Amino acid sequence: MSLATKNGAKPAGVIVRLMLRHDEVFRLPAISRAVQVVSGLAWLTVDGEDIFLGNGQRLWLVSAKGTALVSALGQTPLILEILGDSASASPGMESMLKNLAPTQGAC
C-alpha cells in the first residue's frame, strides 16, 4: 500500500490493525493521523461530528483537536487500520494498543 503525503510530511504507516464487534467503542490514540476501514462499517465521532466510513474508505484526522471514538455498525465486525507517523510511534506502541480492551456502548 502506498500512502500519499502532503507538504513533504513523512508518510503515515499502519500503527495497528483493530477489530471491533457490534457495540464496542474504541478511543483513538492521540498519535493517530488517519483511520482506514479494511472491512465493515465504521461510526466515528470526531470533535463532536459523526462520520460513517465503509470498506476501503480513509479519514484523515489532521484537524482533530478533541476525542475521536470509533465503533462498528451492524453485525459484521469492523476491521480498521490506525495510521500514524512511524517516528511518533514507540516500539512498544503496537503491543500497548493491542492490549487495550474496547468498551461496550455506542459512540
Average pLDDT over residues 53-61: 94
Quote the cell numbers at residue 57: 474508505
- State yes or no: pLDDT of 95 exceeds 70: no
> What per-residue confidence (pLDDT) applies to 15?
84
Least confident of 6-10, 13-17, 38-42: 6-10
> What per-residue confidence (pLDDT) applies to 48?
87
Looking at the chain, how many residues does it have? 107
What percentage of the chain carries pLDDT values higher than 90? 44
Higher pLDDT, 40 or 33: 40
Return the sign of the alpha-carbon dihedral for residues 8, 91, 38, 58: negative
> What per-residue confidence (pLDDT) applies to 13?
84
Half-sphere exposure of 31 (CA within 13 A, CB side): 16
Q: Which structural domains are found in the chain, ordered by start?
A: 12-104 (2.60.120.10)
